Chains A and B, each alone.
Chain A
């Protein structure tokens, strides 16, 4: 088999197996376990009292904030990974080593600015 694809065959096999395994465990319980629904049992749990809050309400914009910041910094890390794997090799090349270091320092610095801004504006204050 083409060596380019070979390592991904087991990945595909395992993916299919784990999906099957999860389905089997969950459905086995469905078959083996009894089902005796009662009205009381079906009430959402809220520490023993009847539910007072509606689950489909809107939540703080902070969660959205967190998600968007995560997206930005996750992308940053994704760009750092390729650099990190080659950095050692580039250091051996005298002409390119300063470029390799400088480009990443600039990249991290710019993103650190974003982090400082976020801090100063109090975007992560959850009180």
Chain B
């Protein structure tokens, strides 16, 4: 392909994935979360804004989505007078940019088999480093919280920002280490190869059960959800690092968080839940190893979405079931339990693979 074609396809895929898929999932998720929290706390939840005042299925749902989006756009763009003007504006931007970039390496539909030539239609960039790109980008999301907090020039914000940063870096290692077992078994860091490998043997959750559980815990901590929501512990720090943020700046922060949640769920689905593979259904491929696209492909994309929703729903259940950790417990859990367990999981996997080779 020529440079022009590559750029064009990049733009088209980006628009399709980020607007048609990620932003939609993230906004729907915001509402889904509010509804589910309401349900679990025996409340009604958002039920006021209807589209044109008419009641039809999903009317309240769409109404709230639209009014939320419009509201943050036209609210006062508040800037604390003693804040660092540029960094205060830059903070949310830095937080959301990595979250969007994560989607570059996530395949949400079948592509060519490992080793086969051909373009992957459902993946923006088929990088050799694969999911490592995602970790590289994810490690940058720390800056959004810390810089925004620092720029706000408020004690609550700064404390929240520091807590956030310390928590995120503590669990990042565990998050990365638990995918290593999957890389070892399937011999690749490309999510596409890993998904094909899972179709041929078994899903990652059965091959790496300990890895999956540790990944789940670390992913909740990394995306700052309860019981790991210390960065924004309401009763202690008001709203944590975005205490001094409102209107769109605040919305961009929370958008970044939600997109991050969806992206981590997508990686979990790719590595542990078989990605777009439907159990007992084989993907038809032609002689060169490129899948034959058809109605099955649509079903596979749908099943990918479904698995993602299940994973996120599981996180939400955990959120409203467990109480929040204390900060010292959080640090202890990360460094003294999860990290050694992940290392142990790695060693055991290596020894088993060596024994049965």
Mark A residues whose CB is within 8 Å of B: 1, 6-11, 13-15, 17-19, 21-23, 25-26, 28-30, 32-37, 41-42, 44-47, 51, 53-56, 59, 62-63, 66-67, 69-70, 73-74, 76-77, 80-81, 84-89, 91-92, 97-98, 101, 104-105, 108, 111-112, 115, 118-119, 124-127
Contact of B125 among A10, A35, A98 (CB under 8 A): A10
Contact of A125 among B153, B180, B252, B328 (CB under 8 A): B328
When distances are taken between beta carbons in the complex, the residues of chain A under 8 Å from B10 are: 9-10, 13-14
Q: Which residues in window 74-98 of B have CB below 8 A to A?
A: 74-82, 89, 92-93, 96-97
How far is the CB of B27 from the nearest CB of chain A, in Å? 13
Do the beta carbons of B154 and A81 come within 8 Å of each other? Answer: no
Cα distance, A11 to B343, chains bound together (Å): 32
B: contact size bracket: 35 or more
Do the beta carbons of A7 and B127 come within 8 Å of each other? Answer: yes
When distances are taken between beta carbons in the complex, the residues of chain B under 8 Å from A62 are: 166
Do the beta carbons of B173 and A73 come within 8 Å of each other? Answer: yes
Contact of A67 among B1, B169, B247, B336 (CB under 8 A): B169
User: B-side binding surface: helix, strand, loop or mixed?
Assistant: helix
Cα distance, A15 to B92, chains bound together (Å): 16
When distances are taken between beta carbons in the complex, the residues of chain A under 8 Å from B299 are: none
Do the beta carbons of A10 and B104 come within 8 Å of each other? Answer: yes
Cα distance, A127 to B329, chains bound together (Å): 9
Do the beta carbons of A66 and B166 come within 8 Å of each other? Answer: yes
Mark B residues whose CB is within 8 Å of A: 1-3, 6-7, 9-11, 13-14, 18, 72-82, 89, 92-93, 96-97, 100-101, 104, 124-128, 132-133, 139, 152-158, 162, 165-166, 169-170, 172-173, 176-177, 180-181, 183-189, 238, 243-244, 247-249, 252, 327-328, 331-332, 335-336, 339-340, 343, 346-347, 350-351, 353-354, 357
